[in-house]
Amino acid sequence: MKILVLCTGNSSRSQMAEGYLRKYADASVEVYSAGIEAHGLNPNAVASMARDGVDISGQQSTLVDEYLDLAFNLILTVCDNAQENCPVLPGKPGMLTVRMHHSFPDPAKAQGSPQEIEAAFDTVRDQIKAFCQELIHKPNW
Protein backbone atom coordinates (compact mmCIF):
# COMPACT_ATOMS: atom_id res chain seq x y z
CA MET A 1 0.00 0.00 0.00
CA LYS A 2 1.20 3.50 -0.83
CA ILE A 3 0.12 6.70 0.93
CA LEU A 4 0.89 10.22 -0.30
CA VAL A 5 0.46 13.17 2.09
CA LEU A 6 0.09 16.51 0.33
CA CYS A 7 0.45 20.04 1.66
CA THR A 8 1.22 23.42 0.15
CA GLY A 9 4.96 23.61 0.81
CA ASN A 10 5.83 20.13 2.14
CA SER A 11 7.71 21.75 5.00
CA SER A 12 5.71 21.09 8.18
CA ARG A 13 2.27 19.46 8.27
CA SER A 14 2.80 16.86 5.54
CA GLN A 15 6.28 16.11 6.89
CA MET A 16 4.88 15.53 10.38
CA ALA A 17 2.13 13.30 8.99
CA GLU A 18 4.68 11.33 6.97
CA GLY A 19 6.74 10.78 10.12
CA TYR A 20 3.79 9.55 12.17
CA LEU A 21 2.34 7.38 9.42
CA ARG A 22 5.71 5.70 9.01
CA LYS A 23 5.89 5.20 12.76
CA TYR A 24 2.42 3.66 13.11
CA ALA A 25 2.09 1.70 9.86
CA ASP A 26 3.56 -1.72 9.31
CA ALA A 27 6.28 -2.50 6.78
CA SER A 28 3.75 -3.13 3.99
CA VAL A 29 2.88 0.58 3.87
CA GLU A 30 5.02 3.04 1.93
CA VAL A 31 4.52 6.66 2.95
CA TYR A 32 5.50 9.69 0.90
CA SER A 33 4.89 13.40 1.30
CA ALA A 34 5.00 16.19 -1.22
CA GLY A 35 3.89 19.74 -1.81
CA ILE A 36 2.30 21.83 -4.48
CA GLU A 37 5.50 23.85 -3.87
CA ALA A 38 8.68 22.77 -2.07
CA HIS A 39 9.66 25.13 0.75
CA GLY A 40 12.28 22.95 2.44
CA LEU A 41 11.97 21.08 5.70
CA ASN A 42 10.97 23.49 8.48
CA PRO A 43 13.45 23.27 11.40
CA ASN A 44 10.62 23.97 13.87
CA ALA A 45 8.75 20.91 12.56
CA VAL A 46 11.89 18.80 12.91
CA ALA A 47 12.39 20.04 16.50
CA SER A 48 8.74 19.51 17.43
CA MET A 49 8.76 15.94 16.14
CA ALA A 50 12.04 15.26 17.94
CA ARG A 51 10.42 16.38 21.19
CA ASP A 52 7.94 13.54 20.60
CA GLY A 53 10.64 11.02 19.73
CA VAL A 54 10.17 10.97 15.94
CA ASP A 55 13.13 11.88 13.72
CA ILE A 56 12.08 13.48 10.44
CA SER A 57 15.39 15.26 9.85
CA GLY A 58 16.27 12.95 6.95
CA GLN A 59 13.03 13.57 5.06
CA GLN A 60 13.06 15.71 1.92
CA SER A 61 10.76 18.51 0.81
CA THR A 62 9.58 17.41 -2.64
CA LEU A 63 7.17 18.55 -5.31
CA VAL A 64 4.15 16.39 -6.06
CA ASP A 65 5.33 16.29 -9.70
CA GLU A 66 8.06 13.86 -8.62
CA TYR A 67 5.42 11.23 -7.88
CA LEU A 68 3.29 11.46 -11.02
CA ASP A 69 4.49 8.01 -12.13
CA LEU A 70 3.51 6.29 -8.86
CA ALA A 71 0.06 4.95 -8.06
CA PHE A 72 -1.21 5.59 -4.53
CA ASN A 73 -3.90 3.81 -2.54
CA LEU A 74 -4.50 6.90 -0.41
CA ILE A 75 -3.87 10.56 -1.17
CA LEU A 76 -4.26 12.61 1.99
CA THR A 77 -4.34 16.41 1.77
CA VAL A 78 -3.60 18.18 5.04
CA CYS A 79 -4.34 21.77 4.00
CA ASP A 80 -7.11 23.38 1.99
CA ASN A 81 -4.74 24.80 -0.64
CA ALA A 82 -3.37 21.33 -1.43
CA GLN A 83 -6.89 19.91 -1.66
CA GLU A 84 -7.98 22.63 -4.07
CA ASN A 85 -4.83 22.41 -6.23
CA CYS A 86 -3.98 18.72 -6.08
CA PRO A 87 -3.17 17.41 -9.53
CA VAL A 88 -4.84 14.30 -10.81
CA LEU A 89 -2.48 11.45 -10.09
CA PRO A 90 -2.76 8.32 -12.18
CA GLY A 91 -3.91 5.07 -10.67
CA LYS A 92 -3.39 1.52 -11.79
CA PRO A 93 -6.19 -0.30 -13.59
CA GLY A 94 -8.33 -2.06 -11.00
CA MET A 95 -6.75 -0.15 -8.10
CA LEU A 96 -8.93 2.15 -6.05
CA THR A 97 -7.28 5.42 -5.07
CA VAL A 98 -8.97 7.09 -2.12
CA ARG A 99 -8.68 10.83 -1.59
CA MET A 100 -9.05 12.09 1.95
CA HIS A 101 -8.83 15.62 3.31
CA HIS A 102 -8.17 16.82 6.83
CA SER A 103 -7.03 20.41 7.17
CA PHE A 104 -4.63 21.31 9.97
CA PRO A 105 -3.58 24.86 10.93
CA ASP A 106 -0.27 25.97 9.47
CA PRO A 107 2.19 26.23 12.39
CA ALA A 108 4.69 28.00 10.14
CA LYS A 109 2.39 31.03 10.24
CA ALA A 110 2.61 31.22 14.05
CA GLN A 111 3.89 34.49 15.45
CA GLY A 112 5.15 35.53 18.83
CA SER A 113 7.97 34.52 21.11
CA PRO A 114 10.05 31.41 20.42
CA GLN A 115 8.05 29.66 23.14
CA GLU A 116 4.74 30.60 21.49
CA ILE A 117 5.95 29.38 18.11
CA GLU A 118 7.17 26.14 19.69
CA ALA A 119 3.77 25.69 21.36
CA ALA A 120 1.99 26.26 18.03
CA PHE A 121 4.09 23.57 16.34
CA ASP A 122 3.53 21.16 19.23
CA THR A 123 -0.24 21.75 19.15
CA VAL A 124 -0.48 21.00 15.43
CA ARG A 125 1.93 18.07 15.85
CA ASP A 126 -0.35 16.55 18.47
CA GLN A 127 -3.39 16.99 16.22
CA ILE A 128 -1.58 15.29 13.34
CA LYS A 129 -0.36 12.51 15.63
CA ALA A 130 -3.90 11.71 16.85
CA PHE A 131 -5.25 11.77 13.29
CA CYS A 132 -2.49 9.48 11.99
CA GLN A 133 -2.94 7.01 14.85
CA GLU A 134 -6.64 6.77 14.07
CA LEU A 135 -6.03 6.53 10.32
CA ILE A 136 -3.65 3.59 10.69
CA HIS A 137 -5.36 1.76 13.55
CA LYS A 138 -8.96 2.33 12.49
CA PRO A 139 -8.89 2.92 8.75
CA ASN A 140 -12.25 4.09 7.43
CA TRP A 141 -11.20 4.42 3.86
For residue 118, the Cα-to-chain-centroid distance in whole angstroms is 19
Backbone angles phi, psi at 51, to 5 degrees: -65, -20
CA distances from 68 to 47, 87, 141 (A): 30, 9, 22
Say if CB 17 and CB 33 are below 8 A apart.
yes
Q: What are 74's strand-pairing partners?
A: 3, 98
Q: Which of 4, 5, 7, 36 is catalytic?
A: 7
**Composition of the chain by helix, strand, coil, percent to 5:** 40, 15, 45
Catalytic residue list contains 132: no
* 7 catalytic per annotation: yes
Catalytic annotation present for 79: yes
Catalytic residue, candidates 29, 86, 100, 117:
86
Residue of 45, 49, 79, 135 marked catalytic: 79
Q: Phi and psi of 14, rounded to 5°?
A: -70, -30
Residues with catalytic function: 7, 79, 86
